[in-house]
Chains A and B, each alone.
Chain A
Amino acid sequence: MDFDDTREEAEFRAEARAWLEAHTTLRQPDDAPEPGMGDEASQDLVARAKDWQGIKADSGWACITWPEEFGGRGASAIQNVIWNQEEGRYRTPPNIFTIGQGMLGPTIMAHGSPTQKERYLKKMLRGEEVWCQLFSEPSAGSDLAGLRTRAVRDGDDWIVNGQKIWTTGAHYSDYGMLLTRTDPGAPKHAGITYFIVDMSSPGIDIRPIRQINGATGFNEVFFSDVRIPDGNRVGAENDGWRGAITTLMNERAAIGGGGAGLGIKELIQLLRTTPYGDGVALDDDGIRQKLADFHARSTGLQYTGYRTLTALSRGQTPGPESSIGKLVGAPLRQEMAAFALEVLGAAGTITGGDLAMEHGAWQRMYLTMPGLRLAGGTDEILRNIIAERVLGLPAEVRVDKDKPFSEIPH
């Protein structure tokens, strides 16, 4: 048991670091925070992210786990972790390509046609084209296979009508991965077809939705007689659920506990500097107990991550047990933010100006974490995954599984 890289890992880290050193500069403690998940992506940010992605691609540092034929370098999962750690230490724009590169790209690799791979993957890797995930619908979230957006065959095209919702980044995306209902007479999982859709197609109407944190990260996307050529079908007709599973499995790997942001260190800083009774908040017994509880849960998660890294380093693939990261991490960070506000008292309501700690980042975290608890699987869905796929407990009773989709009440 040790904390060191293997020799190959250390060499790889040094190589990554040398390249980053030559192309950007180290992040500094007083740098303004970059927007995170669920924050707004401005035009300027999209442009900066695309520029940086191009620079990485030119040197072979984009999508490093992808096979060489698609522009990657066939790097291992552990090398990817090392790369992300190193890149995170430098001044780089936030990655707006994760949904495409982390979830949709691998789906195209697994189920796409040779023409699709050739046409889309390189540009996805270079960040020239941004992608979004058109899965959820107003009446199909956790129960994704209940989706109702219709696609009907018309010669060499498909005509799509319906509505998607919560589509992160649709407003700056060039392409989307779309799940549609193509056979309402079949059971719900058996009548779905998966498409690539050009977001500039006539008949697509994108309406931003404002989130509780004030940002507009996601959208409603309406489809009215949108034509999609059959060549954009991913996988066989009515076999789209198979591709959806590939996407969702990659999503689990892509969304963690929320990564960077405020943590125990910043919380201690807040407790040390907030006047409380005759001293500061950190003197209070009740507060100290709570701080210890947060810290023990945080380290528990951090070292669970180390155990995953160890497994990756040995060439194993993490399975459903990695759901623990978001299931524990997101509520923990929500609780920590709420606690920080509580300690600040009435001043906890102030989100800017001198009274606000960390430029109001605690309040932003408080307003952002509820979304992280929903996105990519709610707490309940993650508990079901752990119960069924890790612990082997019986699956939920599904009353609608074998019925024709058209007969399912909704």
Chain B
Amino acid sequence: MLRSDLGEPMNFDFSEDQKLLQKTARDFLESNAPLALCRSVLESNETYSSSLWKGAAEMGWLGAVVPEEYGGAGFGHLELSLLAYEVGRALAPIPMSSSVYLATEAILLAGDASQRERLLPPLADGSTIGTYAVAERRGPVTPGAIETRFENGRVSGAKVPVADAQAAQLAVIAANEAQGLSLVVAHLDHPSVTRISLPCIDGSRDQGRIEFSGTPAERIGAPGAGAELLAQIQHRAAVLVAFEQLGGAERAFELTREFCMQRYAFGRPIASFQALKHRMADMYCALELARSNAYYGAWALHHDAPELAEAACVARISATEAMHLATTEMIQLYGGVGYTWEYDCHLFYRRSQWLGLLLGSLPQWRERLVQALEAS
């Protein structure tokens, strides 16, 4: 499965340059995206922080993997993984996953030369926010259950839930046509588009519904190639989202540890109680397994390796588990204050579900993993 003939990998880490980029990102987010920013979006009617989005664009993050000829930074996916990690640590309230990991990746993967030339530059400079409009109902997204149609260059149908439906100006849409399921791209500023925001478990991020009625659209990729493309896009995005989850889990864990060190009960820091020490040791183990699987995912994504499907699944599964564990335990270890609106624990607890459900839930990814194992 791996390049085992040469033995096991001896350089399973990011390079110094990559770590420097990560440090720059962390510094930037520490000044520009304190947890108060996440909270302010959660408490307002905004669906994202437009100032932070602008900042991220200026830092070159949004076009990190877009080639320079299309206005991107021309980095690789290893760099983007580390940026995602930092965005995750900061609980940054911006549409990174919808626009960067999904819409941009979809056009990079399936767009032809002219589409790349037209669509990528505004995504890379942040002037256009993209989204990924695939689901139409409750439960897992199955290509067979998609009712949206694409005919004569126009798309019709209702998509729900769509992340960042309000903020986006462009959507990558799964729609059926004569040849089967295809992917199409439409601009959302057309009068035939109606959209609403829906109340969401993580109010610092957005979910909504978009209805298309004969909206002009163009196909990306071959007609009928939609199911295959969707799988590939989801695998790529899963690795990047795993890094966000890892970052969020790590930050939640660090805060929990610090809290337990300074909170006293029975005359001692609560961090000295063995029950809590062992729970933190277990959180640490989950985090390290998730980190290792995410690294593997980044490796596979960067090399477009045949192992990508399997690597994306394991990265997704253990990152989701690690963030759920860290954020669930966070509230319990904080005690009563952990359950208050005022403390930040719920920001992490909410984000963990938002990220964990965005691309489909754990049971679906476990099933995908087994399919990948069967195929290999």
Residues of A whose CB lies within 8 Å of any CB of B are 1-6, 9-10, 13, 78, 81-82, 85, 264, 268, 282, 285, 288-289, 291-293, 295-297, 299-307, 309-310, 313, 321, 324, 327-328, 380, 382-384, 386-388, 390-391, 393-397
CB distance from A108 to the nearest CB of B (A): 31
Query: Which secondary structure dominates chain A's binding surface?
Result: helix
In chain B, positions 335-376 with a C-beta closer than 8 Å to chain A are 363, 365-367, 369-370, 373-374
Closest to B371 in A: A288
Closest to A291 in B: B370
Whole-angstrom CA separation of A327 from B283 in the bound complex? 13
Asked if B318 lies at the interface with its beta carbon under 8 angstroms from chain A, I say yes
Q: A313 to B11, Cβ gap below 8 A?
A: yes
- A5 B285 Cβ-Cβ under 8 A: no
Q: Whole-angstrom distance between the alpha carbons of A4 and B299 in the complex?
A: 12
Give me 13 other A-B pairs in contact (C-beta within 8 A), A303-B12, A306-B9, A394-B269 excluded. A1-B9, A1-B11, A1-B12, A3-B8, A4-B6, A6-B10, A264-B373, A293-B366, A299-B296, A307-B12, A307-B292, A327-B281, A394-B272
A310 touches B9 (CB 8 A): yes
B47 interface residue per 8 A CB criterion = no
> With A292-B313, A292-B367, A394-B268 as given contacts, are A299 and B13 in contact (CB-CB < 8 Å)?
no
Binary A-proximity of B272-314 (CB < 8 A = 1, otherwise 0): 1010011011101100111111011011001000000000011
Inter-subunit contact A388/B277 (CB<8 Å):
yes
Distance in angstroms between the alpha carbons of A235 and B268 in the assembled complex: 38
What are some 23 contacts across the A-B interface (CB < 8 A)? A3-B2, A3-B9, A5-B10, A9-B7, A268-B373, A289-B366, A291-B370, A292-B317, A292-B365, A296-B321, A297-B318, A299-B292, A303-B292, A303-B295, A306-B12, A309-B12, A328-B285, A383-B277, A388-B277, A391-B277, A393-B260, A393-B261, A393-B277
Using A268-B373, A288-B367, A393-B272 as known contacts, say yes or no to A9 and B10 having CB atoms under 8 A apart: yes
Residues of chain A within 8 A of B291, CB atoms compared: 304, 307
Q: Which of B11, B280, B321 contacts A393 (CB 8 A)?
A: B280
Across-interface contacts of A13 in B (CB, < 8 A): 6-7
Taking a contact as CB atoms under 8 Å apart, the answer to whether B299 and A1 are in contact is: yes
What residue of chain A has the Cβ atom nearest to residue B272's Cβ?
A394
The answer to whether residues A387 and B280 also contact, given A297-B318, A304-B288, A324-B285 and a CB cut-off of 8 A, is: yes
User: How many residues of chain B get a CB closer than 8 Å to chain A's CBs?
Assistant: 52
Of A9, A297, A310, the residue contacting B12 (CB under 8 A) is A310
B contact residues around A289 at 8 Å (CB): 363, 366-367
Q: Which of A1, A10, A296 contacts B317 (CB 8 A)?
A: A296
Nearest opposing residue in chain B for A85, CB measure: B7
Known A-B contacts A1-B11, A300-B314, A304-B288; A10 and B6 likewise in contact (beta carbons under 8 Å): yes
- Chain A contacts for B369, CB-based, 8 A: 292, 295-296
B283 to chain A, nearest CB (A): 9
* A310:B285 contact, CB within 8 angstroms: no
Taking a contact as CB atoms under 8 Å apart, the answer to whether B285 and A292 are in contact is no
Q: Please, which residues of chain A bring their CB within 8 A of the CB of B269? A: 394
Q: B366, A292: Cβ atoms under 8 Å?
A: yes
A9 proximity list for chain B (CB < 8 A) = 7, 10
Q: Which of A78, A292, A297, A327 contacts B10 (CB 8 A)?
A: A78
B175 to chain A minimum Cβ distance, whole angstroms, is 30
Question: Which residues from chain A contact B8 at a C-beta distance below 8 Å?
Answer: 3, 81, 85, 305-306, 309
Least distance between B69 CB and chain A CB atoms (Å):
25
Q: Is the CB of A384 within 8 A of B11?
A: no
Task: List residues of chain B with CB within 8 A of the CB of A291.
Answer: 370, 373
Closest partner residue, chain A, to B365 (CB atom): A292
Q: Contacts of A268 on B, CB cut-off 8 Å? A: 373
Give the nearest-CB partner of A3 in chain B: B9
Does B28 touch A at the CB level, under 8 Å?
no
A1, B302: Cβ atoms closer than 8 Å: yes
Cβ of B15: which chain A residues have Cβ within 8 Å of it? 1
For A328, the chain B residues whose CB sits under 8 A away are: 285, 289
The residues of A that contact B317 with a CB separation of less than 8 Å are: 292-293, 296
Is B6 within 8 A of A3, CB to CB?
yes
Asked whether, in the complex, the Cβ of A297 is within 8 Å of the Cβ of B289, the reply is: yes
Question: Is the pair B284, A4 in contact by a Cβ cutoff of 8 Å?
Answer: no
If the complex has contacts A5-B7, A289-B367, are A303 and B284 also in contact, measured as CB distance less than 8 A?
no
